[in-house]
């Protein structure tokens, strides 16, 4: 007669059973759970208690990592912008044609917006983001847009881009890059988004009037720049 199985091991103190979460730390698991809930059932409808339950921890444990739900959202949103700001700064220091650096920035940025399990950038339109507590995120997003503006202006100065209005062209390029947010939202969850990473940066250059016969060389140079960014991160 086989022995009866013993009782299941109890979870660590303060933690309840929950489904596996992405992340190597409790803080990362909280961010993963919050990202899912904010994107699927809405920010306003999600409480810190719901996030804690999704992770399998007590609400007090969540507050050990984050003082409020707003702080969780702020960190999630920061992750959609600050890596691209760092990439833009790095690209400005690298040699090469301005059009290739712009293409590389758009490639990196689109890749970032398409990465991760949850379409976090879809939260950009939340009315809560108009509150002063999210001023840091809005300032970061403005800095990223300014980096695009410098890249567009440099491409114009070098003669590759020929827009009639640099400010309008910058707004259109930035808007085209961020259009992947809505495209991703329209696609089935988990769909391959690799086509956006390759087509949107090139479409940005076409929008600026970069001649078609220059695009292959620009894309090759951009690929080398993106690879340099990846090596620097590694």
The pLDDT value given to residue 9: 41
The pLDDT value given to residue 231: 64
pLDDT digits (tens, 9 = 90+) for 68-111: 999 999 999 999 999 999 999 999 999 999 999 999 999 999 99
Taking Cα atoms as reference points, which of 35, 179, 181 lies closest to residue 118?
35
pLDDT digits (tens, 9 = 90+) for 26-39: 899 999 999 999 99
CA 193/CA 181 separation, integer angstroms:
11
CA 197/CA 218 separation, integer angstroms:
15
Comparison of pLDDT for 14 and 41, the residue scoring more: 41
Q: Return the beta strands (E) in the chain as ranges.
A: none
pLDDT digits (tens, 9 = 90+) for 104-157: 999 999 999 999 889 999 999 999 999 999 999 999 999 999 999 999 999 999
Binned at pLDDT 50, 70 and 90, residue 3 comes out as very low
Taking Cα atoms as reference points, which of 43, 41, 26 lies closest to residue 77?
43
Answer yes or no: is pLDDT of 45 > 60: yes
The pLDDT value given to residue 10: 35
Is pTM beyond 0.95 here? no
CA torsion 95→222→114→125, rounded to 10°? 60
CA 16/CA 49 separation, integer angstroms:
13
Exposure pattern of 197-215 as b/e (b: 16+ CB <10 Å)?
beebbbbbbebbebeeeeb
pLDDT digits (tens, 9 = 90+) for 192-228: 899 999 999 999 999 999 999 999 999 999 999 999 9
Integer angstrom CA distances of residue 34 from 38, 44, 70, 130, 133: 6, 12, 11, 20, 18
Answer yes or no: is pLDDT of 55 > 50: yes
């Amino acid at each position: 007669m086989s022995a009866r199985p013993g009782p299941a091991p109890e979870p660590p103190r303060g933690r309840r059973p929950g489904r596996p979460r992405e992340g190597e730390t409790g803080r990362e698991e909280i961010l993963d759970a919050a990202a899912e809930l904010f994107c699927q059932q809405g920010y306003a409808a999600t409480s810190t208690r719901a996030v804690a339950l999704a992770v399998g921890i007590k609400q007090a444990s969540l507050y050990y990592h984050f003082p409020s739900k707003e702080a969780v959202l702020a960190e999630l949103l920061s992750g959609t912008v600050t890596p691209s700001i760092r990439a833009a700064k790095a690209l400005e220091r690298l040699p090469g044609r301005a059009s290739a650096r712009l293409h590389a920035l758009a490639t990196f940025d689109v890749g970032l917006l398409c990465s991760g399990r949850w379409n976090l950038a879809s939260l950009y339109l939340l009315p809560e983001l108009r509150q002063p507590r999210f001023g840091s995120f809005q300032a970061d997003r403005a800095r990223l847009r300014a980096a695009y503006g410098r890249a567009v202006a440099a491409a114009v100065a070098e003669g590759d881009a020929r827009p009639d209005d640099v400010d309008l062209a910058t707004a259109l390029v930035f808007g085209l890059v961020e259009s992947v947010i809505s495209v991703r939202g329209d696609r089935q969850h988990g769909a391959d988004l690799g086509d956006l990473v390759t087509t949107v940066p090139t479409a940005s250059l076409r929008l600026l009037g970069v001649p078609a016969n220059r695009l292959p060389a620009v894309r090759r140079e951009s690929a080398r720049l993106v690879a340099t960014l990846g090596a620097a991160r590694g």
